[in-house]
Amino acid sequence: MSAETTNSNGTEKNAGAKRTANTKASSGKFILNDRYEIFLSRPVSEFEHIYADTYEAIAKDGGQSYLAYVIKDRYPARLDVADYLIKQDIPRLLSIKDYGVTTASDGSQRLVVLTDKPSITTPIMSRHQSKRAPLQEDVIRKNILRPVVQALKNLHDADIFHGNIRVDNVFWNNVENAEALLGECVTSLPGSIQPASYETIERAMADPCGRGVGALVEDVYALGILVAILFRGTDPTAGKSTKAMIEDKINRGSFTVMTEGLQLSSNLMEFLRATLHDDPRARWTMDQVWMWVIGNHVTSKQIVSHKKVGRVLEFNGTKYMNLRLIARDLQDNPVEALELIESGNLIKWLERCLLDKVVIDTVQAAINRANYNNKGTGYEDRLLCMVSMSLDPRAPIRYKGLSVMPAGIGGMLVDAIIREQPLQVFAECIREKLAWLWLGYKENEAMDANDLSKRFDNVSKIILRRGIDYGLERCLYELLMDVPCLSMTLSSYYVLTCAQLLQALDKVGEDKARPQQPLDRHIASFISTHDQKDNSLYLILAEGTDPLKRPLALVTLFQSMQKRHQVPPLSGLADWLSKDIEQIAQRYHNRRYRKNVVKNVESDIKGGNLTRLLTLVDSPQEIGRDRSEFEQARIFYRRLEKEHDYLESNLKRNDVFGRATGRQIAAVISGVMGGLFMAATLLMKLTNSDAGM
């Protein structure tokens, strides 16, 4: 196997934000950033998950061993977190060394995240194990919780949600029962690989890809679950369906479900009760957990938030006594649910059972809001979603079979695009401002830490706008900045930056089976969200049909990007744009000059310098000269036409053409001849008279 490497050609000026591809793969090996070799023949199965394969990697200089996560397909990773962790080494957290895009021998690209490799890769409990020997409270506290909480505390101080706390992602470092090491959290979307049992009730209700970045207290819950499982040696919810597990947790509480049958010390019970509290307001923070770990007494908040009611509601053949469950199951039978709501039976039931008037008012407000367009388009789905949301505001948005947290809409959309699933439901979800409504509930105020409501307000406007760089694609890139460009044109490429986009288009352009033009809705939206310059004007024109403005805008867009991001020659992209460049050359009226320009374009394509190519066809000086000369030529032509018309009409008048001039000439000749004759006569007369004298 050769170890040939290439230097980075796509380094962006602001390279701090994103690492660019500078790798080349030989058979069975990836080279990452010219520094690391990744051996595809040496998989490390303990760390792999459904969105990433893991392999052994070594540094080319020192031979140090690493672990490489090779992301599957074009799934995004949490690169903002990776950037932080590369700069900031957090003790007891699997450290991120580097990441970048590698190119396989077939030309396809993959995102690789490189982490430290624990000396002995032993998860506390493998995902394939259903049980292990229970751990003692002391071991859990000292060897597991102390290092893990320390790592999580550091993460939370930086406002980073881990989201991957589970038994198979916590490792013994070196030997069994030594200090534990918390696994990575950057190679998958938050919550997407986390078993539902580790998620809070509301997150567990969401589709795994639609969980999104959670609140920090949700890490605390996962930590509580981790401790409960380790103390028991098995997961008490194992074998149950997610639906049944959620139902059990809602009815009995997570603490009861997870600790049933355990002999807990009062200390551990206090910890588990506080971390597994189903109301996030009553749950401990990571700081409180740390205080408990180091042996301090921590007081818990006492919040009673039962939404259990006294009367039974029968729906879809089931008897309900809990608002969260009825909210969850409303979508199971939409016809009956609509009847229940529209007949007023739901409100009546709430009035009879609930003392809390706020809940009734909230449900009534949701019903009224859903009817804003007088039962117009989408009323039924909107009504079910809004009523469900008002009954259980912390639960995910449930809309047409979609169950997603607002922060997870981006991730869910990526998954749907990659799996080529219908996307209409996402567009409707955004258009109906459901996420924005969700964030408006006071129960969800804590989730709005990242200005989510502003972002959703923004995307709800974006989705209504027409244009190649708007719509659902743009919403995706606005919601999830670390997602690669998901254009079908770039299906083999992992494009994270504008420089990478140009290079990938360059490669695609080398293939003659390329699409007609290097711009589609995904690429346009990606450029709009990732390029620091506002390219909206170019994109509007590039979408149009004007035979000059369209190709000119397209070429100028890519030329300016190449210049701005200092991307080296792009001969493939230049070849792809050659038809457009030649079309721009048609702006020159002078055919000879136009032919020369086209000839020069053809010879300069291999150079791949779009600026030079554009200068050939868009030189203001040449355009001005051409226009001026063309105007002169047109005026000359017009004069010739006039003369032609005049001569032709004269020639048609055969009988008179030239006669007038002839008569004038005849008069002149006659005058001259007559004058000469008279002068001669007089001269002769005078001469004769003189002779007579």
> Which residues would be at the binding site for other proteins (CB under 8 A)?
589-592, 628, 630-641, 643-644, 647-648, 650-651, 657-667, 669-671, 673-675, 677-678, 681-682, 685
| In the complex, minimum distance from the CB of residue 613 to other proteins, in angstroms, rounded to a whole number | 23
Phi, psi of 544 (to 5 degrees): -75, -170
CA distances from 568 to 58, 110, 133 (A): 29, 21, 58
Between residues 120 and 679, which has the closer beta carbon with respect to other proteins?
679
Between residues 372 and 677, which has the closer beta carbon with respect to other proteins?
677
Between residues 15 and 684, which has the closer beta carbon with respect to other proteins?
684
Task: Determine the Cα–Cα distance for residues 222 and 229; give it in Å rounded to an integer.
Answer: 10
Pair 77, 67: CB distance under 8 Å: no
Between residues 365 and 672, which has the closer beta carbon with respect to other proteins?
672
Q: Which two tokens stand for residue 72?
A: 């599957």
Between residues 454 and 644, which has the closer beta carbon with respect to other proteins?
644
| In the complex, minimum distance from the CB of residue 597 to other proteins, in angstroms, rounded to a whole number | 14
Task: Determine the Cα–Cα distance for residues 55 and 46; give it in Å rounded to an integer.
Answer: 10
CB atoms within 10 A of CB 206: 25
Find the helix or strand (DSSP H, E) in which 222 lies: helix 217-232
Pair 509, 518: CB distance under 8 Å: yes
Pair 145, 224: CB distance under 8 Å: no
Quick check: helix, strand or coil at residue 439? Answer: helix
| In the complex, minimum distance from the CB of residue 642 to other proteins, in angstroms, rounded to a whole number | 8
Between residues 357 and 644, which has the closer beta carbon with respect to other proteins?
644
Between residues 332 and 641, which has the closer beta carbon with respect to other proteins?
641
| In the complex, minimum distance from the CB of residue 690 to other proteins, in angstroms, rounded to a whole number | 14
Q: Which two tokens stand for residue 409?
A: 């809409």
Between residues 158 and 683, which has the closer beta carbon with respect to other proteins?
683
| In the complex, minimum distance from the CB of residue 646 to other proteins, in angstroms, rounded to a whole number | 9
Find the helix or strand (DSSP H, E) in which 620 lies: helix 620-652
| In the complex, minimum distance from the CB of residue 550 to other proteins, in angstroms, rounded to a whole number | 20
| In the complex, minimum distance from the CB of residue 586 to other proteins, in angstroms, rounded to a whole number | 9
| In the complex, minimum distance from the CB of residue 685 to other proteins, in angstroms, rounded to a whole number | 5
How far does the chain reach from its first CA to its final CA, in angstroms?
137
| In the complex, minimum distance from the CB of residue 676 to other proteins, in angstroms, rounded to a whole number | 8
Between residues 454 and 638, which has the closer beta carbon with respect to other proteins?
638
Between residues 544 and 671, which has the closer beta carbon with respect to other proteins?
671
| In the complex, minimum distance from the CB of residue 654 to other proteins, in angstroms, rounded to a whole number | 8
The length of the chain is 693
Q: Which two tokens stand for residue 470?
A: 């708007």
Q: Which two tokens stand for residue 285?
A: 């923070």
| In the complex, minimum distance from the CB of residue 673 to other proteins, in angstroms, rounded to a whole number | 6
Q: Which two tokens stand for residue 346?
A: 């739901």
Between residues 13 and 663, which has the closer beta carbon with respect to other proteins?
663
| In the complex, minimum distance from the CB of residue 675 to other proteins, in angstroms, rounded to a whole number | 7
Task: Determine the Cα–Cα distance for residues 222 and 128; give it in Å rounded to an integer.
Answer: 19
Task: Determine the Cα–Cα distance for residues 486 and 483; give it in Å rounded to an integer.
Answer: 8
Between residues 15 and 682, which has the closer beta carbon with respect to other proteins?
682
Between residues 369 and 594, which has the closer beta carbon with respect to other proteins?
594
User: 628: which residues sit within 8 A by CB, 6+ positions away?
Assistant: none
CB atoms within 10 A of CB 136: 13
CA angle 364, 366, 368 (to 5 degrees): 70
Task: Determine the Cα–Cα distance for residues 500 and 481; give it in Å rounded to an integer.
Answer: 15
CA distances from 212 to 111, 185, 393, 634, 674 (A): 20, 13, 16, 65, 115
Q: Which two tokens stand for residue 555?
A: 């070429």
Closest CA to 18 of 97, 106, 79: 79
Alpha carbons within 13 A on the beta-carbon side of 347: 16
Q: Which two tokens stand for residue 354?
A: 């609930």
Pair 20, 530: CB distance under 8 Å: no
Q: Are strands 318-322 and 397-399 parallel, antiparallel or unpaired?
A: unpaired
| In the complex, minimum distance from the CB of residue 619 to other proteins, in angstroms, rounded to a whole number | 17
Task: Determine the Cα–Cα distance for residues 307 and 322; give it in Å rounded to an integer.
Answer: 6
| In the complex, minimum distance from the CB of residue 593 to other proteins, in angstroms, rounded to a whole number | 9
Between residues 544 and 675, which has the closer beta carbon with respect to other proteins?
675
